[in-house]
């Protein structure tokens, strides 16, 4: 019955799963076909793609149906009593009614029992959802205005980000394995939310919060920031990709690779790094100042620094600003939001960024 509230793609997957069981030993399994990034239907629950999704939805729908049942019951009783006990004549007196012990007991006891049921049900789910299994894969998530950075401690050097410009693969996880996210923010409060997994947690500067899930469906799902965090909060979205465990590691390495393509100019490669490494969150290309100085006309420009000295923006200054952002801050900016890219960008990538900046005249 609950299936009427599920998004169509979930229903189809459920039907397909039933079909697979019925057809004994199907021929060689076809390559997994990735569903398109889920569509959110205003009238339906989001796709169910984690072990938490079904139980969360069941509890939610239980509460909705319970509310609907009592809403109808109470309004119907009210209407009936209004009709039945309406005053029949101008001199009709209301009979003296004091109380009814039985009914008063029932209207207290029944809601109390229902509330305890809701509490117990929710508490069991809550404990499950806040206790990551010991064998979970750890992933570090960092929130920044306005992108997510995702690092894999077990896979050194693998780092993915979201982009404010396009839906970019921000996180890759294997299907059927528990994953634990250890999250923090480098600036303001953000909130990490994956509707298809029914998980959401605040990402707070100065502390670590954790979140865990186990994906149950191969596919691509939305990540949203659900805490207003400034101008481009609504663009702080990413894509989480769930893969079969066998193809997880190779795909992760491939996605994290940020190398110049044979057909690509150095400056174009720099442009790709600009979006892939989150530079675009703070540096515009159109001359507008943002959290950081614009890159338009930056190269060769004479900049006044916070301490009053001036310098000309050249290759060495740009490189220093990428690796040690706090060394020389341009007047009018705090530099507080600029992370160091030491160990995250190699010399080739930094050169590409410099060439890209040179192009922004």
Q: Which residues bind ligand CUA (CB under 6 A)?
A: 143, 146, 190, 225, 227-229, 233, 236
Nearer to ligand CUA by Cβ, of 57 and 227: the residue is 227
135: exposed, middle or buried (Cβ count in 10 Å: 0-12, 13-18, 19+)? exposed
Beta bridge pairs of residue 138: 180
Please list the residues that pair with 310 across neighbouring strands. 304
Question: Quick one: how far is CA 321 from the chain centroid?
Answer: 30
Paired residues of 210 in beta bridges: 182
The SS3 assignment for 199 reads strand
**Least CB distance from residue 184 to ligand CUA, whole Å?**
13
Which one, 204 or 323, has the nearer CB to ligand CUA?
A: 204
Tell me the closest approach of the beta carbon of residue 241 to ligand CUA, in angstroms: 20
Q: Would you say 193 or 213 has its CB closer to ligand CUA?
A: 193
CA nearest 206: which of 227, 188, 182, 228?
188
Least distance in angstroms from the C-beta of 70 to ligand CUA: 36
In the complex with ligand CUA, the residue whose CB is nearer, 185 or 321, is 185
Here the contacts of 155-161 (C-beta below 8 Å, separation 24 or greater) are 155/249, 155/252, 155/253, 155/256, 157/256, 158/252, 158/253, 158/256, 159/256, 159/344, 160/255, 160/256, 161/238, 161/276, 161/277, 161/278
In the bound state with ligand CUA, the residue whose beta carbon lies nearer, of 48 and 142, is 142
295: DSSP letter: S
Nearest distance from C-beta of residue 229 to ligand CUA, angstroms: 3
Instruction: Give the residue with the Cβ less far from ligand CUA, 162 or 275.
Output: 162
Q: How far is the CB of 87 from ligand CUA (least distance, A)?
A: 58
Distance between CA atoms of residues 5 and 1, nearest Å: 8
Q: How far is the CB of 75 from ligand CUA (least distance, A)?
A: 40
């Amino acid at each position: 019955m609950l299936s009427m509230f599920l998004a169509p793609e979930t229903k189809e997957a459920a039907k397909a799963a039933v079909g697979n069981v019925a057809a004994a030993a199907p021929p060689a399994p076809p390559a997994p076909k990735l569903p398109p990034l889920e569509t959110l239907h205003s009238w339906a629950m989001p796709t169910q793609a984690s072990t938490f999704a079904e139980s969360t939805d069941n509890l939610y729908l239980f509460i909705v149906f319970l509310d609907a049942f009592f809403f109808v019951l109470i309004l119907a009783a009210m209407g009936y009593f209004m009709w039945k006990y309406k005053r029949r004549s101008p001199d009709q007196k209301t009979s003296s009614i004091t109380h009814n012990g039985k009914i008063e007991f029932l209207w207290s006891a029944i809601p109390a029992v229902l509330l305890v049921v809701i509490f117990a049900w929710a508490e069991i789910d809550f404990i499950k959802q806040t206790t990551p299994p010991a064998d979970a894969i750890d992933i570090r998530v960092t929130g920044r205005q306005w992108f997510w950075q995702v690092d894999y401690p077990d896979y050194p050097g693998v780092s993915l980000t979201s982009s404010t410009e396009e839906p970019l693969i921000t996180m890759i996880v294997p299907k059927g394995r528990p994953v634990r996210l250890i999250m923090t923010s480098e600036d303001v409060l953000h909130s990490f939310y994956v509707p298809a997994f029914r998980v959401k947690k605040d990402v707070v500067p100065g502390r670590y919060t954790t979140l865990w899930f186990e994906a149950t469906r191969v596919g691509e799902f939305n990540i949203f920031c659900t805490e207003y965090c400034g101008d481009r909060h609504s663009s702080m979205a990413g894509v989480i990709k769930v893969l079969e465990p066998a193809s997880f590691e190779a795909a992760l390495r491939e996605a994290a690779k940020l190398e110049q393509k044979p057909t690509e100019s150095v400056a174009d490669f720099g442009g790709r790094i600009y979006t892939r490494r989150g530079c675009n969150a703070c540096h515009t290309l159109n001359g507008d100042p943002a959290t950081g100085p614009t890159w338009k006309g930056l190269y060769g420009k004479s900049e006044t620094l916070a301490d009053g000295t001036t310098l000309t923006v050249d290759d060495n200054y740009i490189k220093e600003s990428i690796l040690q952002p706090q060394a020389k801050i341009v007047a009018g900016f705090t530099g507080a939001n600029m992370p160091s890219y030491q160990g995250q960008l190699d010399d080739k990538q930094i050169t590409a960024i410099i060439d890209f900046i040179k192009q922004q005249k």
